Structure 1
Amino acid sequence: MEIQAFGYLGVGSSDLDDWAAFATSTVGMQPVDRASSMRAFRMDDRKQRLFIDRAIEPGTQVFGWEVANAAALDQLAARLEAAGVAVKREPANLADQRCVAGLISFADPAGNRLEAFHGAQIADAPFKPSRDISGFRTGPQGMGHTLLTVPDIDAALAFYKDLLGFRISDFIVAPLKAYFLHVNPRHHSVALVAAPVRSMHHLLVEYYLLDDVGQGFDLLQNAPEKIVSTIGRHSNDLMTSYYMRTPSEIYVECGWGGKDVDDATPPAEMASVASFWGHKGLFEDIGAPPSAAPEVGSRRAPVQVIEGNYNRMAGVCQWWDEARRNR
């Protein structure tokens, strides 16, 4: 299928200055000079990944999905139209505002505005984060992931999976219904969760080094009202992360060590969405009853690392080596 990555996110808001302070000093993105009615931010070599725009209806978002080239964009538009989805070929001035070569827009069954594009523009200068971080894990995996709540999850799943070509990484059907879908090796670029109302819950940004996550969480200690959850580790994508409030009604998940997936591995059904540990406050925030005691068990998994952000330790442990041999 044509879609390759989650390329950009647009947020409708008039709180431009608050968003600028949040995206830079808290998250570490680089601000971009744009029109007075919007703010834009870089995460890598792209001219922009996130933009906040007064012209977008407050409380709504724009989700930009990347394809390889103009031919792939035309093929996607034709398939959507053949399925009865209204597609708009956006003019060059909007494509320029999005910093892309070509652009179409359409809506998913829940009413979210989706845009598909090709030819993302590359900045002339290297990326310079606004706080001392190692950088964001983007590239072919896109800017991160988003979680959407939808009233009709079956319709949403059919749209993203059968029409757009997303693949299921894992899913859960009880006590809630949710699907985690990927378009590249990132465990999921979008998660769909059944709920009475349509909403965007959060955007994930993934750092290169675990210390970036811990130091970011330390920065929040001076503003505890912005903390949604403590640091924890998810059991499906294995992300170590925390969640924080933005100036809008959405959250940002700051994480490290997300799991890669491939299409040869069949989707797995999850028995629980509970984290291995931590994330205190997250599930209570979305309506789960508070637990008198944390769910602590035997669930664990190896840390997911990429070349360059770990050092192999020297030495041996006879007990551990023997335990591994006996497994």
Structure 2
Amino acid sequence: MKILIGVASILAVVAVPAAPAAAAACTWRVSPLPAPAGYSYAVANGVAPASGSVVGHAVRTDGSGRDAVVWRNRIPQVLPKPPIQGSGSNRADIINDQGVIAGVWWGADNRVAAWRYRDGAYEILPVPSTMMGVAVTGINSVGDVVGQAFTLSPSSEGLLWKAATPGQFTSLGSSIYAVGIDDSGRMVLNNRVIVNPDGSRITLPRPVSMRLYDRGRILSEDLATNTVVEWNVSAQVVREFAGSFPHAVNASGVMVATPPGTVYVAVRNGNAWEQFAIRMTASEGITDGNVVVANFDHDGTTQTQQVAGTWQRGC
């Protein structure tokens, strides 16, 4: 009987299944975007929501300046020089799903020009005569571009360049600029005003700092409560959570922002924060396919220039 009990005990021990191995943590892993041949490194500045085409600039190996670049299917293409006399540097900042790109040229003679590139040709965008610098910050599907002109005074001037009237600009006012524009022409301004396509206006009923308007989502930051606040175009709060400085969001609401207690960004996926495998401090955009575009310390040191990369989630 003792022998039978002993054998049964052994069999029982053998029959107990081993505990399953712990599932691998899901992380956002980076794939560097290649620099074009003849350039030392490349930097990403923006991404198209659906196509995933990325724009930025590449630094020339001889250190003489930079040139605008577009990556399609991760293959870099250097844009031609804008039709401006003299040497200088060029950078692409934004792109839509139709392949229309906007950026800025800075000449060796200190001439600054904003441009739109469509169908293989440049359009030099008009600016106020007092402008000393310019930035393009948003584009919609028809190629309308928003940005800012900077002067010697502390103020800036928000600008709208409509694709239908390339030789004109619309001033949005002194120290007022759009944080984004959608396909209908609706703009959200830094002073918390939503400008609808019919010209009507709605003001957000709360003193928040405006960060971004993209794909129908208005992102802001409440500095008094240290929260990220998202609004819809009817000025209603959609969600709010502890964190700061939302950088990017896609159509399904996957967001890149800064969690509490850190200076590094992470992905806000549903109600959870998901860290990047390699730390970075900002994000240039996120596609509707959940691909994050940003620049990162490729060699693990902050002593060298950050380079372009894309992040995707893996487990």
TM-score by length of 2: 0.27
Normalized per residue, the structure richer in strand is 2
TM-score by length of 1: 0.26
Normalized per residue, the structure richer in helix is 1
